[in-house]
Structure 1
Amino acid sequence: MSGAELAETAAGLYARGWLEGTAGNLSVRLPGDRALITASGVSKGKITAADVVEVGIADSRPVRAGAPRPSAETTIHTALYRLSPGSHAVVHAHPPYATAVAILAARRGAGTVTFTDFEIIKGLGLTDPSKVVVPVFENHAHVPRIAGDVTERLAADAPPVMLIGNHGATTWGPTLDIARNRMECLEALCRLTLLVDRAIP
């Protein structure tokens, strides 16, 4: 996976209105316990291969001196790579319906949101596609606290999607295409739930 491909995917999500301004970030795992991640403070509508940073998965720090500053959410990406060795891509975005559900869940103090009997659940690649319990993590200004919560709370059998209260959504998978597709599925689940006026547990 090249920086150009990462930038292309980011630009596509920006065009959908899911990466407003400079928000959101994408990463892919590289050989040798490293990852490529979008740089901080860069509009995903103008991102190029020069706007990605190579970081160590163990310490979340840039591998090369003088590199652009990596995304503020780098520690969440690297935590997911450490927890899920089979995952090779992470997408963090702010699609409107998933973000709305994350806000409602946070207001109600919900640690999870459950979706039941939606056909689109199949897109998450779960063993049982009839139901998915999506974890909701508390948002913190100090992002490593979110990464710490993910490390502590994310179960080994958790679905490859999560919400961050009052913030947005994160998905992961074996390829960047699959991680992006899972973001699309999560957004569809949240949109359908809100459209049919189901309660957010």
Structure 2
Amino acid sequence: MDNIDALCTVLRVLADNGFVYGPGGNASIRLDDKTIAITASGSSFDSLVRDNFVKVNLESGECCVSGAPRPSSETSMHLAIYRTHPKVNVVLHTHPTYCIALSTVSDELPILFPDQAALVGKTKVLRYMLPTTEQFGRSVAMELVKSNVCSLILQNHGLVVTGSTVLQAFYRTQIVEQACKIYLSALSTREKVRELSQEEILEIQNLEAERYRNQMLTQYKRFWTEV
């Protein structure tokens, strides 16, 4: 299974689990130093195949193949992220229910449990902006750098997650949505929500088992057949 096929597989899983509905969301993968592959405009995660991806030149933003389908309307956001994050190889943009719900009532997502601390870390909430614009794309890329995060909740919109590999981005997407669900559930009790302290977060991140798990998730080929 190659990288685009692996990405198709996890995107279908995300669709099956309600992370997107209809032709919502978009995803991309870095193919080499000059090229990315991104979902075509109007394609749906639940039926994606490799022919639904469009190759785009990373520098010019132009399609690499004449007559190819139109790339996602959020291509400018994906390009901005890859241009400013040389270690990012995968970008997933989904519309998870609890992430969007949280963004309408809170401007933060605290770290609440070990997997969130170890595999995701901080998740910022970015104020609402009109999607698909160049300014929107630049703002997303700049916030990822400024806040040193791998995930952004977009207010009244959705979630953007980056990763070194398909599986890393996939797991991060799942964990952020789980964290939003947990946080909203806790808030609904009207009791004080216990967050992990900075000391507890660092203890988790420094565990040898967590360092090993993260190392494995940044190795591409080891995981192709496990997706």
TM tier, shorter chain? 0.7 to 0.9
* 2:111 is the counterpart of 1:116: yes
Distance in 2 between residues matched to 1:196 and 1:117, nearest whole Å = 10
Residue 36 to residue 98, structure 1, CA distance change in 2 (3 Å): same
Q: Name the SS of the counterpart of 1:45 in structure 2.
A: helix
Counting strand residues as a fraction of each chain, which structure ranks higher? 1
1:15 and 2:10 matched: no
Report the counterpart of residue 98 of structure 1 in structure 2: 99
Residue 50 in structure 1 maps to residue 56 in structure 2: no
Write out per-residue CA displacement over residues 141-196 of structure 1, whole angstroms, 9 at most, x where no aligned residue. 44322112124443355210001111100101100110111111111111110000
Residues 39 and 149 (structure 1), Cα distance of their counterparts in 2 relative to 1, 3 Å cut? same
Structure 1: distance between partners of 2:20 and 2:168 = 18
> Hey, which of these two has a bigger chunk of helix by percent?
2
Give the C-alpha shift of residue 80 in structure 1.
Answer: 1.3
**Inter-partner Cα distance in structure 1 for 2:81 and 2:127:** 13
> 2:187 corresponds to which residue?
197
What amino acid sits opposite 2:148 in the alignment? Answer: A
Structure 1 residues not aligned, in runs of 5+: 127-131
Partner amino acid, structure 2, of 1:124? L
Q: How far did residue 53 of structure 1 move? A: 0.6
Deviation of the 1:123 alpha carbon: 4.0
1:102 Cα deviation after fit? 2.2
Identity across matched positions, percent = 26
Q: Provide the TM-score with structure 1 as the length reference.
A: 0.84
- Per the TM alignment, residue 95 of structure 1 is displaced from its structure 2 partner at its CA by 1.2
Amino acid at match of 1:167: H
The structure with the larger Rg is 2
Q: In structure 1, what is the equivalent of residue 156 of structure 2?
A: 166
RMSD of aligned Cα (Å): 2.2
